[in-house]
């Protein structure tokens, strides 16, 4: 597969993730662990059907247990943190903080061997963190518990950036392994739900459609396309393209009436997206100079 094709496939995940906050809000009042279990169950089941029809299930035998543990921890951990954050804090604001992960991908990739952080990386980070600061500062006048939700969203961003960068080093692992990640995450979430949560189900058809949408798209197909992108595509370009996700996600929530169209929300979205773009541009400029020399 060509690198450009893999990058485009990976970007389709970014488009699907722009719907993640919308579907999460629409699925209320389903608690985070139960939502994890339902969505991963749907996504994993669809992936299993794909494996059986394509005859690719045999590729799972050679995957080390340590890789399965890593994948399950990454998917389960990120989505539990994300769903919890959006249940505790205003969804648009919490979603924006969670979308610091494209910035973290660019920054962390600058720490890899042969790379180094540059002034543009630092400037981009300060810009994006300024947007996050606007959100956190506003929580003093906002919903009770919102700061806790913002903290979980920040941890979610770190978790997904780390998962994506480590996945890059597992390029030999077949994308088929994501099916096991999803099904095992669903089972783990179900057990944790029974132990720690009280069940609450969607109250109407829209809620059930939101759960189905999550399982088929942002918590289903997106994992497979993202896995292809980060393993075979240009991961820094994917990190760059991902800066569009927080703006798209915020606009969708506002258009759906799930978030107010405030000036502070718009400013935070622009700063977070712009900061990631600025940091990514610094990385591209540095690679261009190396290529010319």
Q: What is the pLDDT of residues 107-123, one digit of tens each?
A: 787 666 666 677 777 78
pTM above 0.85, yes or no: no
Please tell me whether the peptide bond between 129 and the residue prior to it is cis, using omega within 30 degrees of 0. no
Q: Which residues of 182-215 are buried (b: 16+ CB within 10 A; e: fewer)?
A: bbbbbbbbbebbeeebeeeebeeeebbebbbbbb
Q: Is residue 143 over pLDDT 80?
A: no
Q: Is residue 142 over pLDDT 60?
A: no
Whole-number percent of the chain with pLDDT over 70 = 89
Q: Is residue 257 over pLDDT 60?
A: yes
Q: Which of 15-19, 77-81, 97-101, 272-276 has the highest mean pLDDT?
A: 77-81
Q: Dihedral sign, CA of 41, 45, 47, 48? A: positive
Pick the more confident residue, 16 or 143. 16
User: Which CA distances in Å does 268 have to 18, 119, 130, 144?
Assistant: 16, 22, 8, 20
pLDDT for position 140: 56
Enclosing domain of residue 158: 3-292
Mean pLDDT, residues 243-264 taken together: 85
Q: What is the pLDDT of residues 183-236, one digit of tens each?
A: 999 999 999 999 999 999 999 999 999 999 999 999 888 888 888 887 888 876
Angle at 219 between CA 7 and CA 30, to 5 degrees: 155
pLDDT for position 19: 93
pLDDT for position 284: 62
Average pLDDT, the chain: 85
pLDDT for position 31: 95
How many structural domains is the chain composed of?
1
Q: Is residue 171 over pLDDT 90?
A: no
Mean pLDDT, residues 11-40 taken together: 93
Q: Is residue 11 over pLDDT 70?
A: yes
pLDDT for position 287: 55
């Amino acid at each position: 597969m060509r690198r450009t094709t893999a990058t485009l496939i990976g970007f389709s995940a970014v488009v699907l993730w722009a719907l993640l906050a919308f579907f999460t809000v629409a699925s209320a009042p389903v608690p985070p662990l139960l939502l994890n279990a339902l969505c991963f169950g749907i996504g994993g089941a669809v992936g299993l059907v794909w494996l059986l029809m394509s005859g690719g299930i045999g590729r799972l035998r050679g995957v080390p247990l340590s890789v399965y543990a890593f994948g399950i921890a990454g998917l389960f951990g990120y989505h539990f943190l994300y769903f919890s954050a959006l249940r505790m804090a205003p969804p648009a604001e919490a979603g924006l903080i969670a979308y610091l992960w494209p910035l973290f991908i660019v920054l962390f990739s600058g720490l890899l061997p042969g790379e180094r952080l540059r002034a543009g990386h630092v400037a981009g980070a300060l810009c994006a963190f300024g947007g996050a600061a606007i959100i956190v500062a506003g929580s003093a006048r906002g919903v009770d518990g919102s700061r806790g939700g913002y903290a979980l969203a920040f941890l979610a961003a770190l978790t997904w950036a780390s998962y994506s960068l480590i996945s890059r080093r597992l390029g030999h692992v077949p994308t088929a392994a994501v099916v096991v990640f999803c099904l095992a995450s669903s089972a783990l979430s179900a057990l944790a739900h029974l132990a720690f949560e009280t069940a609450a189900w969607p109250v109407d058809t829209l809620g059930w459609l939101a759960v189905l949408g999550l399982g088929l798209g942002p918590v289903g197909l997106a994992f497979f396309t993202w896995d292809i992108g980060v393993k075979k595509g240009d991961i820094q370009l994917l990190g760059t393209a991902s800066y569009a996700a927080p703006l798209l996600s915020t606009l969708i929530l506002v258009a759906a009436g799930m978030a107010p169209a405030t000036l502070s929300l718009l400013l935070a979205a622009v700063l977070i997206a712009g900061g990631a773009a600025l940091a990514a541009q610094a990385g591209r400029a540095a690679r261009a100079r190396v290529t010319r020399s």
